Amino acid sequence: MTRNWKWILGIGGAIVVAGAVVASVKMSQRGIVTIQTGKVVRQDLTSLVTASGEIKPRDYYNVGANVMGRIVEIGVKEGDRVRKGQVLARLENIQADADVQAQQAGLNSALADTSAAESAVKAMDDNIASAQATVDRTKADLEKARIDFERGEQLWKAKLIAKQDYDVRKSTYDSQLASLRGAEASLNQMTAQRAQSAAQLNGSQKRVAQSQATLRRFSDVLAKHMATSPIDGIVTNLPVRMGETVVPGVQNSSASLIMTIADMSLITAEVKVDETDIVNVKLGQAADITIDAIPNKTFKGHVTEIGNTAILRSTGLAASQSAVSSQEAKDFKVVIALDDPPEDIRPGLSCTSKIITATRQKALSIPIQALTVRQRGDLEPEKPGGAKTVQASSTPDSAAEKAKKEELQGVFIVKNGAAQFREVKTGITGTTDIEVLNGLNDGDEIITGSYKVIRTLRNAAKVKVDNAAPAKTEG
């Protein structure tokens, strides 16, 4: 019995010692928090603003009816590319075409009369020139006959020539004088006829001008029976069919709209940026655009327009036009021009843009999840008894209390096996990392997880680093 009791007492003592050791270890590990850590590194950072929207052309043009009529021809279909001046549709134009043809016939008649009058005037000018030459020649012959007659008269009075010779010279002079009077009368008659022909020509020319003006008016009416494209673009809306009747309207209405042409000279992505990000967006910033209908491709662009009016996310209306409370989320319209859009792009396609708002080369950076916020009062050192240091004055200082509630942004670093809060100032934010402007150095070890630990970790708490990957659990 004595030997058995010794064995029992020995085993019991060993158990007590082992329990004491285990209890001592447990007591020493009480309050130690398991953490994951990472290093402060330098890397290139790019700050992005992501927004979604749709592809839109630079502008739309509504091709409407200028006259009332029935559609007899539609030369395009929705989605077709058209050129400026291309005929898109025709309206019934029987009366307008008849007016143009009738007026064209009247113009042709007036032009024929004008041509005849011009020919008559030209002929009269030729005749007048010939008659003037006859008059000039007759005057010269008359002058010669007058000189011969006067010399003959002097010789006859001096009894140096016969009476018969004197009579011949006098007869020649009288004949030339009569010829001159006849030539001048013929010239005057031709001049009067020429003036009459010129008056007829002037009247014909006026009728031609009037007929041309009337023809232009009728031709304009006829042209309005054809719908032509004002630009190079794509037919995006074709609400009418052949046989339907359209009417002109002061405003674009369903009865006057024939089709809509989209200006594809500049393709844009119109996206909605959250109000918290719009302050970082500037004109000219580069952007990457992805289109849902064109997968695995990224298109370059740049910001060309930034909206100044907040748009309610729930209704799409401007916040200033809504009578409901404006506490809900808002967006701002941002237009991004695509630098090299694809040929098969279509208006209305859904897209996502990533606007590059800032870049940093070799920036000191940390993971975003490592950043946390603490009140200044929570960072004060504790007394050995566990109570924080307090002011000696019995009267609470409101300024000091306010200072204790000040929120500080920073990270926890590992120093001598304990977590130490380090206030930092940050810069731009990348996809997973954030720039640190001061407060940390390259290579510093900071606490990066877990998320729950970072939220609840206290300053100066004892920590244990465990960077092993978490084990997967069976489903």
Assign residue 284 the CATH number of its domain: 2.40.30.170
Q: Is 291 exposed, middle or buried (0-12, 13-18, 19+ CB in 10 A)?
A: buried
Note whether 454 and 371 are same-domain residues.
Answer: yes
Note whether 183 and 283 are same-domain residues.
Answer: no
CA 200 vs. chain centroid, Å, equals 59
Note whether 316 and 287 are same-domain residues.
Answer: yes
Note whether 177 and 287 are same-domain residues.
Answer: no
Has residue 152 been placed in a domain? yes
- The residue to which tokens 């030997």 are assigned: 3
Has residue 257 been placed in a domain? no
pLDDT value at residue 390: 47
Position with higher pLDDT, 268 vs 320: 268
Residue 142 belongs to domain with CATH number: 1.10.287.620
Type of residue at 260: T
pLDDT in tens, 398-448: 777 888 888 889 999 988 888 999 999 999 988 889 999 998 998 888 999
* Of the candidates 218, 239, 246, 217, the residue with the CA atom closest to the CA atom of residue 67: 246
Q: Which domain holds residue 410?
A: 33-45+363-380+403-465
pLDDT value at residue 392: 46
pLDDT value at residue 222: 87
* Of the candidates 262, 260, 261, 255, the residue with the CA atom closest to the CA atom of residue 71: 255
Has residue 299 been placed in a domain? yes
Note whether 207 and 314 are same-domain residues.
Answer: no
Q: Is the model's pLDDT at 288 over the cut of 80?
A: yes
Has residue 351 been placed in a domain? yes
Confidence at 27, pLDDT banded by 50, 70, 90? very low
Has residue 149 been placed in a domain? yes
Q: Is the model's pLDDT at 52 over the cut of 90?
A: yes
pLDDT in tens, 295-322: 999 999 999 999 998 888 888 778 777 6
Note whether 132 and 210 are same-domain residues.
Answer: yes
Return mean pLDDT, the chain. 83
| Rounded-to-integer distance, Cα 352 and Cα 291, Å | 7
| Rounded-to-integer distance, Cα 132 and Cα 188, Å | 10
Q: Is the model's pLDDT at 211 over the cut of 70?
A: yes
Q: Is the model's pLDDT at 28 over the cut of 70?
A: no
pLDDT value at residue 48: 92
Within 13 Å, how many C-alpha atoms sit on residue 231's CB side?
17
Has residue 255 been placed in a domain? no
Note whether 172 and 292 are same-domain residues.
Answer: no
Domain boundary among 360, 388, 423: 360
Length of the chain: 475
Note whether 322 and 435 are same-domain residues.
Answer: no
pLDDT value at residue 474: 43
Query: Among residues of the chain, what percentage have pLDDT more than 70?
Result: 86
pLDDT value at residue 29: 47
Helix, strand, coil percentages (3-state) for the chain, rounded to 5, are 40, 35, 25
Note whether 348 and 369 are same-domain residues.
Answer: no
pLDDT value at residue 475: 39
pLDDT value at residue 81: 87
Average pLDDT for residues 365-382, to the nearest whole number?
85
Whether the CB-CB separation of 61 and 230 falls below 8 Å is answered with yes
pLDDT value at residue 65: 85
* Of the candidates 411, 322, 311, 323, the residue with the CA atom closest to the CA atom of residue 370: 411
Q: What's the domain count of the chain?
A: 3
Note whether 135 and 152 are same-domain residues.
Answer: yes
Average pLDDT for residues 20-41, to the nearest whole number?
67
Q: Which residues pair with 227 in a beta bridge?
A: 89
Has residue 123 been placed in a domain? yes
Note whether 145 and 205 are same-domain residues.
Answer: yes
Has residue 395 been placed in a domain? no
pLDDT in tens, 380-395: 765 554 445 444 444 4
Note whether 289 and 372 are same-domain residues.
Answer: no
- The packing angle between helices 94-157 and 163-223, to 10°, is 170
Residue 428 belongs to domain with CATH number: 2.40.420.20
Q: Quote the pTM value.
A: 0.60
Whether the CB-CB separation of 262 and 236 falls below 8 Å is answered with yes
pLDDT in tens, 164-187: 888 888 888 888 888 888 888 888
Confidence at 25, pLDDT banded by 50, 70, 90? very low
Average pLDDT for residues 29-58, to the nearest whole number?
87
Confidence at 268, pLDDT banded by 50, 70, 90? very high
Query: Among residues of the chain, what percentage have pLDDT more than 90?
Result: 28
Average pLDDT for residues 22-43, to the nearest whole number?
71
